[in-house]
Amino acid sequence: MMENVSVVTLFTLSGLNFTLVQRIILFLLTLLWYLIILLGNVTIIVAIIVDKNLHEPMYIFLCNLCINALYGTVGFYPKFLLDLLTSHVISYAGCMLQGFLIHSSVCGEFSILALMAYDRYVAICRPLVYHSVMTNQRISLFVLFSWLLPLNFMFLNTATLLGARLCGSHIHRLYCVNWMVSTLTCSPPKANAAVAYFNVLFYFGHFVFILWSYMYIIKTAISSKENRGKFTQTCLPHLISLIIFATTVLLDLLYMRFGSPDVSQNLSNFMAIEFLLIPPAVNPFVYGFKLTKIRNKFLNLVYIKRKDVN
């Protein structure tokens, strides 16, 4: 590629140095995994929407968590599957869009996990005012802002890169990342760095808030058997989801900034996509098996189908 922004219309991505047979096998495995993600999350979403007994704050937030998983993965899997069968390139506009989708879904997940932590905090630590605090109007506003803020922040992050003069076109990753695009600019925009650091601090604040909430939740839960039951039933799935997601994102950030170039390509690829592989597939099963109402909903459906067959 020429080193002038006016002719850099394509970015080349890396990480797919495989034979044709290996590409086909990887394509089939990736497609199967993506179908599992789609099936698991769509099942949870439909179950919550259809069953009026699940129209409670905790399940509404869970529904949005699953929608966010579908939103984020659609920014990666279709393009990755296409790359396995064709050339590993992406247009400038496509790169900006892919980075926006993936980054905003990561921020959105932190926002929704923070809402779920707040909901459990009020339910366990302040049960007498739960219904007066978690009103339908407030829930709607919480959900609205959990989507608007990530979309707005990541739009600003992406917008600061638009029009920047590029001195390269090769991205050392399976997909586009705004930070790596900024490293290709001849003079990295200061606005992009400022917005990026603000976003990191803002969502790190979400993480601190979740930890603060769970300090009080655990303190209250150990005080009575009833609260311990609530914690095990409703907080444990959220805590598992948070630990998995935060760990995978943190490992990706640390590797992207400080990773060694001597690491094998396969390990590098896994580190880059683990937060797109594990949380979207695991979350529906964690919540589906642990939350009683959702589990009973599935068991009733299975029982009815078996009864109809017999």
Question: Region 168-177: what's the mean pLDDT?
Answer: 85
Q: Each residue of 94-132: pLDDT tens digit? A: 999 999 999 999 999 999 999 999 999 998 888 889 999
pLDDT of residue 5: 44
Q: Each residue of 126-155: pLDDT tens digit? A: 888 999 999 999 999 999 999 999 999 999
Query: Domains in the chain, start-ordered, CATH in brackets?
Result: 10-309 (1.20.1070.10)
pLDDT of residue 69: 95
**Residue 207 pLDDT more than 70?**
yes
Q: Each residue of 27-84: pLDDT tens digit? A: 999 999 999 999 999 989 988 888 888 888 988 999 999 999 999 999 999 999 999 9
The torsion angles phi and psi of 141, rounded to 5 degrees, stand at -65, -40
Give percent of the chain above pLDDT 90: 37
Q: Give just the sign of the alpha carbon dihedral 160, 163, 167, 168.
A: positive
d(CA 129, CA 142) in angstroms, rounded, equals 17
